[in-house]
Homo-oligomer: A and B are copies of this chain.
């Protein structure tokens, strides 16, 4: 058994991570913390998760006995906590963007001044299908963004040029905060692009794919789920190449028709379909943004970091 804390468990992703750890055969959920909701019961905020714990304020000293932590803080704030826990020998999976970008200048152009640039080289990009061995050895894992997860799974194994990624996502990706954007009446019976030309996941996708991409996310009237439609030029047989790359992957499902996000709802699966017409190809990738896009992928990473079966607690 290993003891795990989830920091920032009052948000959608942190709360789900807490639930997954709480029911995991190997990990024990030792503590959940929240900056905004300390003192409240987690099962009052998220009845359906049925995690019977009270949210604490974060205090590194009181968390000393834990073996690992999942950090679900906003960027900038996350790095501070990650550094503190790393110092104490705690293995960390960070859900923020703070350790995803290897180039600190790109990070700072995209987000804020980096509080701990010296730790960037310690961190491994937490996409198991790509960095499985490095993750197993890592003490800091930077869990990918939800869009980069699907984009890199769809296109990572491929030669692709002139890449357009049209993304469709549910509202949980916008977080728990109540805003005009997340108001029911704004979303219902609507679909709209956002972050056009400026979305922060673009540099992360480009880092992993090694090519420039046009990336446009759209907000849809559904709670969980993310579909990427990737258009590109290529010289290879896309379906064959994906079949080869993902032959042994437990969480990648190659299918013979366009996937719907319902097919992967509340799972760690990524479902992929390729369509090709000569040198023009389309790859569809569907994930649950809160699961494979965030919280269950964090657990997949933790499984690897502790030498557990990769699928433990996730099927």
Contacts and interface: CB of A to CB of B under 8 A. Distances in A.
A133 to B, nearest CB: 28
Contacts of A171: 184-185, 188
Given A189-B261, A229-B166, A262-B189, A221 B218 contact: no
Interface stretch (A57-65, A115-123, A274-282): A274-282
B214 A231 contact: yes
A191 B225 CA distance: 8
A220 B221 contact: yes
A196 interface: yes
Nearest to A262: B190
B189 A225 contact: yes
Contacts of A265: 48, 189
Q: Chain A's interface: helix, strand, loop or mixed, by majority?
A: mixed
A224 interface: yes
A183 B189 contact: no
A291 interface: no
A47 B216 contact: no
Interface string A196-210: 110000000000000
B221 A222 contact: yes
A222 B12 contact: no
A48 B264 CA distance: 6
A315 B294 CA distance: 23
Interface stretch (A105-113, A174-182, A235-243): A174-182
Contacts of A280: 214
Contacts of A189: 170, 188-189, 222-225, 261-262, 265
Contacts of A223: 184-185, 188-189
Given A191-B225, A191-B227, A191-B261, A218 B168 contact: yes
Most chain B CB within 10 A, of A193, A255, A271, A275, is at A193
A126 interface: no
A191 B222 contact: yes
A14 B266 CA distance: 20
Contacts of A311: none
Given A191-B261, A221-B221, 18 more contacts: A48-B265, A164-B164, A166-B231, A168-B218, A171-B185, A178-B180, A182-B184, A182-B185, A185-B223, A188-B222, A188-B223, A189-B223, A191-B225, A193-B284, A214-B231, A216-B231, A216-B282, A221-B222
30 contacts: A47-B260, A48-B262, A48-B264, A164-B164, A170-B189, A171-B185, A171-B188, A172-B185, A176-B183, A183-B184, A184-B186, A184-B188, A188-B189, A189-B189, A189-B224, A189-B261, A190-B260, A190-B261, A192-B227, A192-B258, A192-B261, A193-B229, A194-B258, A196-B275, A196-B282, A197-B275, A214-B280, A216-B229, A216-B282, A221-B221
For the complex of A and B, 7 pairs with smallest distance between CB atoms: A192-B260, A193-B258, A178-B178, A47-B263, A166-B166, A171-B184, A190-B262
